[in-house]
Amino acid sequence: MYVNIKSMKSSKLTIACCSGLLSRQLKVDEAIVLAEMFRVLGEPARLQMLSLIAAQANQEVCACELVDPLGLSQPTISHHLKVMYEAGLLEKERRGTWIYYRIVPEQLELLRKALS
Which CATH number does the domain housing residue 61 bear? 1.10.10.10
Taking the alpha carbons of 104, 35, 53, 88 in that order, is the dihedral positive or negative? negative
* Residue bearing the bigger pLDDT, 25 or 68: 68
Amino acid at 72: L
Q: Is residue 58 part of a domain?
A: yes
Residues with Cβ within 8 Å of residue 78, at least 6 apart in sequence: 63
pLDDT, mean of residues 76-105: 95
Q: What are residue 92's DSSP bridge partners?
A: 101
Q: Is residue 8 part of a domain?
A: no
Domain of residue 96 covers 43-116
* Residue bearing the bigger pLDDT, 112 or 21: 112
Sheet holding 98-103, edge to edge: 60-62, 98-103, 90-95
Q: What is the mean pLDDT of the chain?
A: 85
Q: How many domains does the chain fold into?
A: 1
What are 2-57's pLDDT values in tens digits? 555 555 555 566 666 766 655 667 788 888 888 999 999 999 999 999 999 999 99
Q: Is residue 89 part of a domain?
A: yes
* Residue bearing the bigger pLDDT, 69 or 25: 69
Q: Is residue 112 part of a domain?
A: yes
Q: Is residue 84 part of a domain?
A: yes
Q: Is residue 14 part of a domain?
A: no
